[in-house]
Amino acid sequence: MIDTAAKRSVSNPVGDDPRLTPDHLQLRHTVREFADHVVAPQAYHYDTQRSLPMTIIAHMGQLGLFGLPFPKEYGGAGRDYLSLCIAVEELARVDQSIAVTLEAGIGLGVMPLFRYGTQEQKARWMPDLVAGRALAGFGLTEAEAGSDAAATKTVAREDGDDWVIDGTKQFITNSGTPITSLVVVTAVTGERRKDDGTVAPELSTIIVPTGTPGFTVLPTYDKVGWHTSDTHPLVFRGVRVPKENMLGERGRGYANFLSTLDEGRVAFAALCTGAAQGCLEQAVAYAKSRVVFGHPIGQHQHIAFQLARMQARTQTARLAYYDAAFKMAAGAPFKTEASIAKLVGSEAAVANAHDASQIMGGYGYLNENAVARHYRDSKILEVGEGTSEVQLMLIARSLGFDD
């Protein structure tokens, strides 16, 4: 096992960005301490149990993490989006599952409600979500609709004062926890005529409260990694909800969830950066303490160079998500920057997990070691919230190369 003090000594060794405020730095310190002393010691246990530790989630709620980017009128902290990213990064250093619970809980759970909900919807749902007393899922992905969200097959039809929903969703985070209160579902609510005269599905988003008759949460997946993260397939059979559960304007579901994903990718990139940082910390501490032929292995140039590359990847990923977050805060376009940050960050996390495992040898292959869990967990970072291929497509579009 790697000594915590040694691990912390290499946390962000290049220093904090001068653009960060004292509040940002204090938040980083607070969440880092929580991650090292509360989350990390229990990470292996909950990974083997494959269960989301609700006591840790409750503690995160008490720290105010679920309310970081939301106004105080809803019980939030009134902080900027970068604050959420910093918290996610620090958690991901030690446990990606806990980090994605926060990232998805806010970015995919609360943020659509905050951005597009009515005052009545916000007043009803947001206080508990912002306090961490409840979680929400975002039901977008289907068997044939993920990267191609326009292929959504879930249908919502009008029946009097209600919407009646039929369909299935898959890979939905935070959808089956003991405190999940709702899932926002994308569904076809009709047809729309495009500018070129062709007809396309009209997509809308609808709030479906947990426990609504006909809404079934199927058993969790047997995943390669992210064992602690709550992820389920969902089934909707004649699910009836009132029309006032429409989230945002009818027919704006496609545009709204694209915007939601753009924002979410910035925090997801922070998660990737945290995973890369965690692998770096573990590998540096091991290279300083592991003695072979009378010398720490870090004194061998090829090990030192490998660690230097890990550091370069991590810092590049961090600067990429900072760039996107600062542009978002300034109200400037950030779609391309979000894709770059997500692409660079996920690649850094995967590469650092591989290199850290190699440096640590047999120890890096033991599941009780954080590096082994990062090795399993990091692959999904190249898939979740838009695959690497989707990010490349979006970046290419920004260069003038259309599909």
> In Å, what is the CA distance from 30 to each residue of 81, 169, 235, 291, 306?
17, 36, 39, 33, 30
Q: Which domains does the chain have, with CATH numbers?
A: 4-134 (1.10.540.10), 136-250 (2.40.110.10), 255-398 (1.20.140.10)
pLDDT of residue 194: 76
Residues 6 or more apart whose CB falls under 8 angstroms from that of 199 comprise 191, 192, 193
pLDDT tens, position by position, 68-106: 999 999 999 999 999 999 999 999 999 999 999 999 999
pLDDT tens, position by position, 190-200: 988 777 778 78
Instruction: Kindly report the pTM of this predicted structure.
Output: 0.93
Q: Is the pLDDT of residue 10 over 90?
A: no
Catalytic residues: 385
Which of left, alpha, beta for 215 (phi over 0: left; psi -120 to 50: alpha)? beta
pLDDT of residue 196: 79
pLDDT tens, position by position, 251-279: 999 889 889 889 999 999 999 999 999 99
Q: Is the pLDDT of residue 403 over 70?
A: no
Report the 10 Å Cβ neighbour count for 392: 12
For 186-200, 299-313, 327-341, which range has the lowest pLDDT when averaged over its residues? 186-200
